[in-house]
Structure 1
Amino acid sequence: MTPRLEVITPRTLDAALGIRVRPDQESAVEPVVRSLAEAYVQPAGVAWPRLIVDGDDDRPVGFLMAFLGIDWRGDGSLFRSGLWRLNIAAGEQGRGYGRFAVESVAAELRRRGDEQLHVTWHPGPDGPEEFYLRLGFRKTGETSGGQTVGVLELT
């Protein structure tokens, strides 16, 4: 497995839109089409959408979208960056692509000078909490839109 990230372009758009999580996960993550629509309406440079491709056979296996320097509280007092969306295709889960996605976002944030990577997740038995905690995220004690907020220190 040699995954890589690709920018979403007219050439890769259909592949990105074709990424589907397991049916039992659909309520916990937005579909790629919504993520791309949200990326489009953000100020320039806030959303960082990428297609995750297995480089061995150029197979699309997932989608991620990071957020870069958003005004977390909406009042200019706290800016954060992190992983906004992570969709690993149903048949590709458990193969390390999710870990690769998180590590890729962490590397990009470090390159930009960020010291923390934030993420939110739906709580509950079908949510990704254990995945994020295994990767070193810790709960902040905050919630955002009913979701648990986690942080990974990048220093």
Structure 2
Amino acid sequence: MLSSPRLEKVTPDNVEAACGLRIRPDQEGLVAPVARSLAEAYVQPEIAWPRLVYDGEHLVGFVMAFFDVRFNPDDPDDRLRSGLWRLNIAADHQGRGYGRFAVESVCEEIRRRGQSRVTVTWVPGEHGPERFYQRLGFRLTGETSGDEVVGELDLPEV
């Protein structure tokens, strides 16, 4: 049960634990490991926002947002997007609200940066996160990004 979840930056003190975070085995082909996400954040620091999800002193997940990216830079009509890039919740902490907390935190950051829409992509499939994202209000756009489908959520005005 959620007690006091929070996001923390990845630091030299917690990076090893972050890289050791494990999702369920049936999800491994659906989301990249945290180490790959951190490597991608390292080479794209202008767009990546990696954070660890803690509950008390326990590391329970990893989330990474992206800001102001065009999915298809060759298409002049493609708009800038911001959204959820990665979400990894530890296998033994899934189903307890940490994923929702992480997504809501990303939405707050995107709203803070002046945007009103959140984008997410996922690999469709039996063990994929589609139902999770739809329960949070994301709707399929009909677009794809590589082998992933694209979902979007309009953020309410505050």
TM-score range, shorter chain: over 0.9
**Secondary structure class of the residue paired with 1:8:** coil
Task: Using the TM superposition, give the Cα deviation of residue 45 of structure 1 relative to its aligned residue in structure 2, in angstroms.
Answer: 2.4
Distance 1:72 1:121 in 2: 14
Counterpart mapping for 1:72-111 below 5 A: 72-75=71-74, 77-111=78-112
Distance 1:45 1:108 in 2: 15
Amino acid at match of 1:93: Q
For each residue in 1:40-93, what CA deviation from the matched residue of structure 2 results, as whole angstroms up to 9, or x when unmatched? 111x320000000002xx100000100011122114642100000000000000
Length-normalised TM-score, structure 2: 0.93
Contact 2:120 2:150 in 1 (8 A): yes
Deviates more, 1:44-53 or 1:127-136: 44-53
Corresponding residue for residue 23 of structure 2: 21
Matched, 1:7 2:6: no
Count of aligned pairs: 152
Length-normalised TM-score, structure 1: 0.95
Amino acid at match of 2:12: P
Instruction: Give the unaligned 5+ runs of structure 2.
Output: none
Task: Using the TM superposition, give the Cα deviation of residue 146 of structure 1 relative to its aligned residue in structure 2, in angstroms.
Answer: 1.1
Instruction: Give the unaligned 5+ runs of structure 1.
Output: none
Deviates more, 1:96-105 or 1:75-84: 75-84
Amino acid at match of 1:73: N
Corresponding residue for residue 38 of structure 2: 36
Runs of 4 or more, structure 1, over 3 Å off, are none
**Secondary structure class of the residue paired with 2:106:** helix
Corresponding residue for residue 46 of structure 1: 47
